[in-house]
Structure 1
Amino acid sequence: MSSDRIKIVWIYPDLLSTYGDQGNTIVLERRAALRGIQTETINVRSDQAVPQDGDIYLLGGGEDRPQILAAHRLRRDGGLPAAARRGAVVFGVCAGYQLLGHEFGGEEGQPVQGLGLLDIHSNRGEQRAVGEIVGDVSSELQVPRITGFENHQGVTHLGQTVKPFAQVVAGIGNGNGFEGAYSGRVLGTYMHGPALVRNPGLADLLLRWAAGRDLRPIDDSWAGRLREERLNAVVPAT
């Protein structure tokens, strides 16, 4: 069903909100408004229950201990998995991406149970990935080349029921030549930036999933300039 009203849920800003990831909520609100789509954004702190009636759920990055605490509380709460089961859009960045999987590495490298919304396993690598990342997105998603910033030590292994979000052109990503993963309407990435500010096509993908229909074009000149500037800084146009 299509919708002209979208409820956005920003999960645990007190634990998962590094590198300006909350900017992802702002760009979704703005791009929806330009198309006449009303939005309601709810910030859910870690001592609050996660509502199950949201349309888009956003998780940001965080340090090891906040990530572990977030995973424990989200598993105990159950609201996010319930929303994902009914078809809500879920977008996780960095630590938020890892905890969407079955397991990730804790502060000492110990395995920590995730939410199992994506068929992925993450662990700590030997070297830290820091810097710009560029990738070519899976063709079925119809999103242009992506640009972002990564700062993590994770290595993420994809299972059989997920697909890689993008093939790495520059940077590290999952550590195996690919960046991120998705299944249905659940998508994770290591990209900060914020990711949806740098990649308006990705923001529109989430809005399109949530609205249940195609979106009308809008003036993307300023967003396009930012995107092209960052892409050309890493992979100069030929």
Structure 2
Amino acid sequence: MRSTSQNGLRLVWVYPDLLSTYGDQGNVLVVERRARQRGLDVSRLDVRSDQQIPTSGDIYLIGGGEDRPQRLAAERLMRDGGLNRAVANGAIVFSVCAGYQIIGHEFVNDLGQRQQGLGLLDVISTRGEGARCVGDVLADIDEPLGLPPLTGFENHQGVTHVGPTARPFARVRFGNGNGTGDGYEGAYKDTVFGTYMHGPVMARNPHIADHLLKLALDVNGLPPVDDQWYEALRNERIAAATAQPA
């Protein structure tokens, strides 16, 4: 991981003009807030789709989007190449829904065509033929990450298959997740993460934001902060998920 000591922690919100549905921009706000609560020097850059992706960021966050904006975002990111170069240099990526599909090998675009993704994560996404996956989700995050249960909101038609060089991010208790029927949600490898969870997911799961910060800073722990508001929201949404019919 590159050092953050000289210029502080650098957060990059990718294409807010194309990929920012269901409050996903809240993710970068939560990461920024929790860094500042620890007294960290943080700079944030919102990069629109007509701008180049900088390669000097530490944490890149990508949200969800509708089908056509997803295609446009993928085309621009492929041409730009900055995100791939940043990951090659050790940067962290956290992506949601359409962003999750984009960082994989391929997905089905709004024209019904298979479209090449960035190949940052070993996943392939297709379009589901059944009912759309909509509703609250509760899942257990992959044990090696050492994080508490995941809560989020899904709204997608996509089905994402996790390849052998990635690990599922979580195992679903309630909800659909990747839509493959195997009970998995999201995927990750090293510093690249993908999930279908909106919410925004960082507001529901601030420990994920802290995990990204620890990766960026290359530390095992962070000073505690006041989590009263986050825990109230988590408890409310977990209760809503468990109240759903099985």
SS in 2 for 1:29: helix
Query: Given residue 187 of structure 2, which amino acid in structure 1 is its aligned partner?
Result: A
Q: Is the 8 A contact 2:136 2:240 kept in 1?
A: no
Instruction: State the TM-score, normalizing by the size of structure 1.
Output: 0.96
1:54 maps to 57
Equivalence map 1:89-104=2 (5 Å): 89-104=92-107
C-alpha displacement of 1:108: 3.9
Letter in 2 for 1:143: L
SS of structure 1 residue aligned to 2:211: helix
Hey, what's the Cα distance between the residues in 1 that align with 2:4 and 2:91?
Answer: 13
Q: 1:228 is matched with which residue?
A: 235
Alignment of structure 1 residues 50-89 onto 2, 5 Å = 50-89=53-92
Task: Decide whether the 8 Å contact of 1:3 with 1:212 is kept in 2.
Answer: no
Match for residue 197 of structure 2?
191
2:38 to 35, 40, 55: 35
- Structure 1 unaligned spans of 5+: none
Give runs of aligned pairs for residues 1-238 of structure 1, distance below 5 A: 3=4, 5-126=8-129, 127-175=131-179, 176-213=182-219, 214-235=221-242
Q: Structure 2: which amino acid aligns with 1:86?
A: N
Secondary structure of 2:169's counterpart equals strand
Percent identity over paired residues: 59
- Tell me which amino acid in the other structure corresponds to 1:171: G
User: How many angstroms apart in 2 are the aligned matches of 1:45 and 1:233?
Assistant: 35
Corresponding residue pairs, total: 236
- Relative to the length of structure 2, the TM-score reads 0.93
Contact 2:22 2:200 in 1 (8 A): yes
Q: Given that residues 4 and 58 in structure 2 are in contact (C-alpha distance below 8 angstroms), is that contact kept between their aligned partners in structure 1?
A: no
Counterpart of 1:116 in 2: which secondary structure?
Answer: coil
Which ranges in structure 2 are unaligned for 5 or more consecutive residues? none
1:41-88 Cα shifts (integer Å, max 9, x gaps):
101000100000000001000011110111011010000000011110
Q: Counting strand residues as a fraction of each chain, which structure ranks higher?
A: 1
